[in-house]
Amino acid sequence: MDAANLLLGLKQHYVGWCLVFALLTAFELLNPRERQSLRLRLVGVGFWAVLLALSFVASVTLALTWQVLNVRPLFAIPSMQALVGGPLAAAILGAVIAAVIHDFFFYWCHRIQHRWLWRWHAVHHSIEELNAVNSYHHPSEAIISLLLLQLPMSLLVGFEHPASAIVTLVLSLHLVWIHSPTRITLGPLRAVLVDNRFHRIHHSLEPRHFDTNFGAFTTIWDRLFGTCHMPARGEWPKVGIAEARQPRDFGAWVGQPWQVGETVTAGDAAPLPPAGSATT
């Protein structure tokens, strides 16, 4: 892959994710559930600009490594067009199967982060105003995700299809939307698919919600491994962690893993600052 193709790929990477953030932010503004700061949204955009570059480099590095070593996934999800009667239906079915398998690896990667890599993952959980752009992680998670999620997934399952770009966009919208403070949820479909109310429980400040709802696409793995907490009607807890505050600038974002557990104790969490003048 030459420099021109790399730059084109990076541009497409940014354009796709900018579309995801723009669509979901517009949806949040039109369908608000709570007041949120415009300034913190802009800070989140800045963090994502860095994260997207890091994730692109990690993905390209992995792909080029497998190409040089001629490594292929153990299983390739077939187009299944003959089974479902059309290319789009085949793409959707194949993507859903791939997403469920991917979520299995994500589930266990996520549990490892909570058990052994909490200082770095805590940056994501420190966010007090969850929304589309405020769904960022610490920069180190680009490497963590590469090693614990992308690498094993790439060795096991491959999915390529002419319509995969569209399906990937839809799945990306879902992945970011589960952090959105909107009144629209999946309703009864929450029994199978993760929505924003289900994932909100995972970010809750309430001890009874700790270490639950690790899945990002489906609830199957949480149900199977005993970590599922279905939100009750109207259950919308406050989010964040007692150990650290939501990063307000680049330095706080990068350095926060070395502050977790040293600044604020569980019983002495400082009150949240007032929301900005702009609201959702």
pLDDT at 201: 98
Whether the per-residue pLDDT at 52 is higher than 80: the answer is: yes
- CA–CA dist 73, 152 (Å, integer): 9
Name 158's bridge partners. Answer: 76
The domain segmentation of the chain, as residue ranges, is 3-268
Whether the per-residue pLDDT at 231 is higher than 80: the answer is: yes
pLDDT at 267: 32
Global pTM reads 0.89
Whether the per-residue pLDDT at 68 is higher than 50: the answer is: yes
pLDDT at 168: 74
- ∠115-117-121 over CA atoms, to 5°? 105
Whether the per-residue pLDDT at 262 is higher than 70: the answer is: no
Average pLDDT over residues 192-205: 97
One DSSP character per residue, 49-103 reads HHHHHHHHHHHHHHHHHHHHHT---SEE----HHHHSSHHHHHHHHHHHHHHHHH
pLDDT at 235: 96
Q: 52 vs 11, 12, 123, 273, CA distance in Å?
A: 10, 11, 16, 29
Span 120-145, pLDDT tens digits: 999 999 999 999 999 999 999 999 99
Percent of the chain with pLDDT over 70: 85
pLDDT at 25: 96
- CA–CA dist 275, 279 (Å, integer): 8
Average pLDDT over residues 92-111: 88
pLDDT at 158: 80
- Interacting residues of 215 by C-beta distance below 8 A, sequence separation 6+: 103, 106, 107, 110, 194, 221, 222
Average pLDDT over residues 45-57: 97
Q: Helix, strand, or coil here: 18?
A: helix
- CA–CA dist 226, 65 (Å, integer): 37
Average pLDDT over residues 190-202: 97
Average pLDDT over residues 224-253: 96
Whether the per-residue pLDDT at 90 is higher than 90: the answer is: no
- Most trustworthy range by pLDDT among 62-76, 121-135, 146-160, 265-279: 121-135
One DSSP character per residue, 122-190 reads HHHHT-SS-SSSS----TTHHHHHIIIIIHHHHHHEE---TTHHHHHHHHHHHHHHTT--BS---GGGG
184: number of Cβ within 10 Å: 14
